[in-house]
Structure 1
Amino acid sequence: MDDKKINLPDCCVACTACITACPVTAATHKFRGPKMVGPAQSRLNFAENDSEASLEYCSNCKNCDIACPSSVPISTLNMLARAKYYETHPHSQRDEMMGHPEKMSKLVAKIPFGAFFANTGMSVGRTLGMIKVMGLADQRPLPAYSDQTFASLFKSKQQPELEKKIVFFPGCIINYNEPQIGLDFIDVMNKNGYQVIFDENFVCCGSPLVTTGFLNEAKENAQTNTNLIKQWVDKGYPILTLCTSCSLMIKDEYQELFEGEIPDMEENAKHIFDACEFLEALYQNDQLNEEFGEVSHEFMYHAPCHLRVQGIGLPAMELLRLISGVKVTDADAGCCGISGNYGYKAENYDLSMKIGNTLFDTVKASGVDTVLTDCGTCRAQIEHGADVKTMHPISILAEAYHNADLSE
């Protein structure tokens, strides 16, 4: 670890900005606050018996990073502290599973009718209480697998031959659970003159590995993805994602977690974009295809924490407001509470729902039947907590372009 990373905790001035912003601290007194987990432990180098007892309460939502006046990557220090803990403590079988969603998904995809059997097994296991025995929250459904992966559907997806190209990093949820969103993305990019390239050698961004303490494996994934991204960047192709957690990880967190250990991360980051961020930039430069058909619907939009910490505004909302008939309101109601795999753990379920209550109440009071958000686990949490349909904003853009074609 280089001197810069070692000295990061010393930039913490021990104010309470992170504690005030932390949704977990607001929901439970058992968490002493972000600065006591990462910065304090890193600075004081506690002995094992004195380690911060509330280490597992940090959800890595990044609200502390947003609030910190000294720009200390507090959540990353918390994740490094968690990884340090697991160097001398075993992982549970539950965390082995939750930290490796790609491994589980690949197994399901290889088995004939694997998605059907896996989805049935999760449903039956939840009914019989087996999910709870595994340490997972049985109050909420686990993400269902798609019959076909995005990778398999991409092979048969027809695209026009276009001079401009982008490389798509789909992430685990779109590849294995919601591939239609990826197909919608291709349609949107084609409409804007870009052919989409998909590199099957990409691996999970590593976010689930980091939050469950598998830092060495996360570093291996970071190395693989960084090498692949560098090859595409050298060809002049931007890298786009549809998951704000994926874009945050490969653009920013790789550098925070593995600074000085993996070449090319900093340069790569200049060419990695959230899809709506990229499209909104096209709009600002008068390059966006604005030939939208009408989409007569009222939506609420939830900005994921991992979008807000990137400091790129709310590009999805800016794009949606260009579509005739769309009415979209910013929920502006804080963290949804799920934070990736955090809210799926049995011990975190009630806390996760308490954190999300303000958002759930805001959605219910609005009367909308559909909430838009860029994060897959946010969509699952909002559907569960607010009992509404959720969609990715890119799917509304795809619908608008489709409606324009129908009206011709």
Structure 2
Amino acid sequence: MAINKQHAIDPDKCTACTICITACPVTAATRKFRGPKMTGPALTRLRKLVSDDDPMLDYCSNCKTCDLVCPSGVPISTLNMMAKNEYYKTHPRKSRADDMLAHSEKMGKLITALPMGSTFAGMGMAIGKAFNMMNAMGITQNAKMPTYASESFISKFKKIKQTSYPRKVVFFSGCYINYNQPEVGVDLVKVYQKNEVEVAVDEKFVCCGSPMVSGGYIDDARINAAKNVKLLKGWVDKGYDIVTACTSCGLMLKQEYQELFDFAGMADYAEHMYDSIEYLAKLNDEGKFNTDFVENSTKYIYHAPCHLKVQAIGRPSMELLPLIPGMQIEEADAGCCGISGSYGFKADKNEIAMKVGSKLFARIKNSHADLGVSECGTCRLQMENGSGVHAIHPLTVFKKAYGL
């Protein structure tokens, strides 16, 4: 299916001010990428007239820092992703890993469905690294990869007994929480129950499509978007708010769908979408946030994901976490971690990703923090890869603070 151009952004709104280039973490890390302005708005005007042969498109990580700083409000990264999608319709893929990383939901479903699937998957990755098979596939040998859980979040959720409350949300867990870190989803349910919120899930939800878009598979993402939009609108029509615990999922469902596609009802449900910690901050504003915490003397350092920053919702975690007695937490404020979903897992991008995240890694090490904190699953993994300090979701910190 072709991308609907009704929601494509006019590249002529770009004033060529170069702010996006100075802010781009990839441009700062390598000369192989000419920068978001030239790759996005500038060449979008010319590709159909001259040539679509632009291999530099592959270096955009879709971190969206360019969108965040653009004074004209041009979603530059979306222009880049749309161009990448068109490019790979007529050009061969550089790596066999592209399809696997972009369609990780398929692997997650397979592994969690098989007995001992997560064990065998872990053994396979270890053997693959030992014999350099990962690199041959286009996946880096140098980074710790996400491990698969033995049981999905959806499966775990069905065993949780909740108290029913008038306030209800539907939780879009996303692939990473569902198949890699289901404990984060369980923590969300426990924390929300402590705040008298009942949580529902919908087994019909599919991958939000963010990894597909970043990989240049927008046409595949459109298929998923059509399914999710209908379901999300249905939940909102029943009076539910929508929460996500992955900033990339939240950004995709709330904003990028509207930039890329033309399905009815997207703006309606987007008004009821919240990041999981943003929703708790909403409760706090209403005087309904449970602050009956036990003391926590752990020292934390917080990293704000790029896909949180671009949503312009502030830093809800840094607003609420300091309410925990004894809490020691500081914000890293050191830019992009470099991972950008699956970008840093690619063999030809890992060195760039580690260079992008080098300031953050140094900041974490110098903080002497016990744990890192971030809302993004792959950011947490990258924080650990680069600094050696384990990182957890803010929901896990709140669960501990409630003595759960």
Could you tell me the TM-score, scaled by structure 1's length? Answer: 0.96
Partner of 2:298: 297
- Secondary structure at the residue paired with 2:170? strand
Partner of 1:70: 72
Could you tell me whether the CA contact under 8 Å between 2:375 and 2:394 is conserved in 1?
A: yes
Partner of 2:337: 336
Q: Alpha carbons of 1:41 and 1:5: their partners in 2 closer, same or farther (altered >3 Å)? A: farther
Could you tell me whether the CA contact under 8 Å between 2:371 and 2:391 is conserved in 1?
A: yes
Q: Deviations over 1:158-180 (max 9, x none)?
A: 11122221100011111001111
Segments of structure 1 that go 5 or more residues without pairing to the other structure are: 404-408
Match of 1:123 among 126, 144, 160: 126
Residue 6 (structure 1) shift? 5.2
- Secondary structure at the residue paired with 2:144? coil
Could you tell me whether the CA contact under 8 Å between 1:205 and 1:222 is conserved in 2?
A: yes
Residue 200 (structure 1) shift? 0.6
Match of 1:29 among 20, 25, 31: 31
Q: Deviations over 1:346-387 (max 9, x none)?
A: 000110000000000011111112100000000110100000
Mapped to 1, the partners of 2:369 and 2:153 lie a distance apart of: 29
Could you tell me whether the CA contact under 8 Å between 1:123 and 1:141 is conserved in 2?
A: no
- Secondary structure at the residue paired with 2:230? helix
Q: Deviations over 1:68-92 (max 9, x none)?
A: 0000000000000000111212444
- Of the structure 1 ranges 105-114 and 348-357, higher mean CA displacement relative to structure 2 is found in 105-114
Letter in 2 for 1:138: Q
Could you tell me whether the CA contact under 8 Å between 2:8 and 2:260 is conserved in 1?
A: no
Could you tell me whether the CA contact under 8 Å between 1:168 and 1:196 is conserved in 2?
A: yes
Q: How does 1:5-404 map to 2 (within 5 A)?
A: 5=7, 8-46=10-48, 49=51, 51-91=53-93, 92-258=95-261, 261-402=262-403
- Of the structure 1 ranges 71-80 and 89-98, higher mean CA displacement relative to structure 2 is found in 89-98
Segments of structure 2 that go 5 or more residues without pairing to the other structure are: none
Mapped to 2, the partners of 1:142 and 1:371 lie a distance apart of: 18
Mapped to 2, the partners of 1:384 and 1:141 lie a distance apart of: 6
- Secondary structure at the residue paired with 1:196? strand
Mapped to 2, the partners of 1:339 and 1:380 lie a distance apart of: 11
Could you tell me whether the CA contact under 8 Å between 1:41 and 1:51 is conserved in 2?
A: no
Mapped to 2, the partners of 1:341 and 1:6 lie a distance apart of: 24
- Secondary structure at the residue paired with 1:78? helix
Q: Deviations over 1:322-367 (max 9, x none)?
A: 1001111000000000000000000001100000000000111111
Residue 52 (structure 1) shift? 3.0
How many percent of aligned residue pairs carry the same amino acid?
50
- Secondary structure at the residue paired with 1:291? coil
Letter in 2 for 1:59: S
Mapped to 1, the partners of 2:171 and 2:227 lie a distance apart of: 15
Deviation beyond 4 Å, 4+ runs, structure 1: 1-7, 46-50
Residue 111 (structure 1) shift? 1.2
Mapped to 2, the partners of 1:183 and 1:5 lie a distance apart of: 36
Mapped to 1, the partners of 2:107 and 2:6 lie a distance apart of: 36
Partner of 1:406: none
- Secondary structure at the residue paired with 1:346? coil
Q: Deviations over 1:216-249 (max 9, x none)?
A: 1100111111000011000110000000000000
Could you tell me the TM-score, scaled by structure 2's length? Answer: 0.97
- Secondary structure at the residue paired with 1:87? helix
- Secondary structure at the residue paired with 2:320? helix
- Secondary structure at the residue paired with 2:357? helix
Mapped to 2, the partners of 1:212 and 1:295 lie a distance apart of: 40
Q: Alpha carbons of 1:30 and 1:90: their partners in 2 closer, same or farther (altered >3 Å)? A: closer
Q: Deviations over 1:264-300 (max 9, x none)?
A: 1111110111010010111112111111111111100
